[in-house]
Amino acid sequence: MAKIVQKYGGSSVQDAESIKRVARRIARSRQGGNDVVVVISAMGDTTDDLMDLALEVSPQPQPRELDMLLTTGERQSAALLAMALNDLGVRARSYTGSQAGVITTGRHGNARIIDITPGRIENSLSMGNVTIVAGFQGVSKSTKDITTLGRGASDTTAVALAGVLGAQYCEIFTDVDGVFTADPRIVPSARQIPQISYEEMMEMSACGSKVLHVRCVECARRENIPVHVRSSFSDNPGTWVLSHNDMVKQKQMEQAVITGVASDRGEAKITISGVPDQIGKAARVFDIVAASDINVDMIVQNISAISTGRTDISFTLPMSDGKKAVDALNAAKGELGFEDLLYDDQIGKVSVVGVGMRTHPGVTAKFFDALAVNKVNIDMISTSEIRISVVVEVTMVDKAVQAAHTAFGLDTEGEATVYAGTGR
């Protein structure tokens, strides 16, 4: 008998009807002879609605109390799903994150899982129950207060549980069919990827693919848990995220240099110009940004064409942190001695990802050529062993994605991608 963990997102449990539909799906897995653990998100817009209520009561809700409030959403969907399963004759029990032994750091609103003590879950499984765990939540190791885990955290909970329980695999049910070679809204000829390595998926997630959060893929790789991303609305085969060794070698896959193209419109760029060209100045810039708890993504330091004794530093960061970073840097203007600070949120990042580029030279040239032919100007560049990212004007993102997708032969056969005029 296989042990599997399934995770259903909020769009899969929007109302009573969809909860019953999910219950039937789980019942099939259970009746197929599996031990099933389910991690569930809050129904539809519940979390947003609770957040609105909190903001009606308090302009800046206390993080501890906000976590107490928001975690009720997943508890409700977990209980309702257990009821629906019991009605189908499938024994089921729901557990809060705390009851399920999800131990976290104490950072409310963005806690990290430290450990999972799965005693109650294992006990519930051994009693023959489908065991439902409220996602997105845990309990602080130090204070025993209820915590929430931040973005994409229900997926991470599911994979972490799969690891601790020694599950065979983890199924992530969502509202799309799987991972695609590009966002099908941008590239209509994008293909679904049958299998992708952890490393590639991490790069895709970090570069704007919304299907799985990067933390979840990191966790899957660490625990070596195969993750099956699939639609809760169909029986389509979905995408397997696996270790490179576990991937079924296919001829066409071996030939593919690039696995997918990702894009991200959620970043902004800050340029600090006229920074004194002294050792340690750049480090101070990023010290100040880091002190505001902001993660910087790409960094470029321009080389002064003529020796002016000053330089320009540009970096990208999440758009939502833009104001905080600008304020912090302006406050330190005297110390840093820069001349000007520019903030630009009209940018987008386009990345090509693929383990194939390790062994295929010329990928960068091919990518940049495709952009040039399509008159897409490159603003910043960053690379990893299996990824090349460029920052372009936000209005050029779609065209850049389409150009790369075609250039690397990812379009569905027999369908031509229309390059121009298909922006969203």
Contacts with its own copies, residue ranges (CB under 8 A): 15-16, 19-20, 50, 53-54, 56-62, 64-66, 68-69, 71-72, 75-76, 78-80, 82-84, 86-87, 93-94, 96, 99, 120, 144, 146
Query: Would you say 140 or 316 has its CB closer to its own copies?
Result: 140
Say how far apart CA 164 and CA 241 lie, in whole Å.
18
280 — phi, psi (to 5°)? Answer: 95, -15
Smallest distance from its own copies to CB 11, Å: 17
Smallest distance from its own copies to CB 59, Å: 7
Say how far apart CA 268 and CA 344 lie, in whole Å.
6
Cβ atoms 186, 243 nearer than 8 A: no
The residue type at 333 = K
Beta bridge partners of 40: 8, 134
The residue type at 36 = V
Say how far apart CA 12 and CA 22 lie, in whole Å.
7
Query: Would you say 53 or 331 has its CB closer to its own copies?
Result: 53
Smallest distance from its own copies to CB 75, Å: 5
Q: Using DSSP bridges, classify how beta strands 130-134 and 137-140 pair: parallel, antiparallel or unpaired.
A: unpaired
Smallest distance from its own copies to CB 69, Å: 4
Apex 276 CA angle, 272 and 282, nearest 5 = 60
Query: Would you say 124 or 156 has its CB closer to its own copies?
Result: 124
Smallest distance from its own copies to CB 71, Å: 8
Query: Tokens for 94?
Result: 């729901």
Query: Would you say 78 or 400 has its CB closer to its own copies?
Result: 78
Beta bridge partners of 349: 264, 391
Compute and round to an integer the Cα radius of gyration of the chain: 23
Smallest distance from its own copies to CB 45, Å: 14
Query: Would you say 64 or 210 has its CB closer to its own copies?
Result: 64
Query: Would you say 83 or 288 has its CB closer to its own copies?
Result: 83
Query: Would you say 17 or 235 has its CB closer to its own copies?
Result: 17
Say how far apart CA 387 and CA 267 lie, in whole Å.
18
Smallest distance from its own copies to CB 31, Å: 19
Query: What dihedral do alpha carbons 5, 109, 218, 403 form, nearest 10°?
Result: 110
